[in-house]
Amino acid sequence: MDLYPAIDIRNGRVVRLSRGDAAAETSYGDDPVAQAEAFLAAGARWIHVVDLDRAFGTGDNLAVIGRLARALGARVRIQVGGGLRSLDALAAVLDFGASRGVLGTAAITDPGLVPAAVAASGADRVAIGLDTKDGKVAIRGWVETTPLLAADVCRRVLSEGARTIIYTDVSRDGMLTGPDLDGARALQGLGASVIASGGVAGIADLLAARDAGLAGAIAGRAIYEGKFTVAEALAALG
């Protein structure tokens, strides 16, 4: 199982939100590139990067993400999400040097995007973000909830050629309450390669995700607040 230490970027800074609430922000640094270098130095093989401004529709952090991907993309695999809502937006982050782009809102609202993205970039370079609130899929930076169920969307995007799903229970994100492994396992049972996100509080959560057979887990606040280090987590995961 892969560990994905997370770098969420807002106004050029490294931050974490609680339950995706833009008003509940904690800042952890002013230099996302330096943070990525620190994760790489600790042994990270993947880094998960999110452009919160683009997700919320309040701007973007393309310049800093481009700098980060160009600086580190040849040495570590970088997964970028947040507001990638067109083929051009996906292609831009991949051209920067990212290994994979994450389609969220547009995978839900634009039924032609997923097959086009897979055809253009390959299934290995495209992930689908499925974020849920009370069991329903949330979009546009988690500020809107649809009537759709994650399982139904998962079945559709798998039929369109996608393979990797990043599953987040929004109510757990940034709360250190443990990820929704039951929800992640349900999607994996449909044939997806699932990365669990939201709520990782300690190494025990990572081991539980590994033992559940998941492809990966994203960790943010727990790392920044010293619950474990990247090196400790990687050693525990073997």
**CA dist list (Å): 222 to 50, 152, 233, 238:** 17, 31, 11, 19
Which residues does 79 contact at the CB level (< 8 Å), separation at least 6? 4, 46, 47, 48, 49, 98, 99, 100, 101, 102, 127
**CA dist list (Å): 216 to 96, 141, 184, 201:** 23, 22, 10, 15
Amino acid identity, residue 3?
L
**CA dist list (Å): 60 to 123, 158, 207:** 25, 29, 34
145, β-bridge pairs: 138
Tell which residue, 93, 87, 3, 92, has the closest CA to residue 42: 3
Q: Give the catalytic positions in this structure.
A: 8, 131
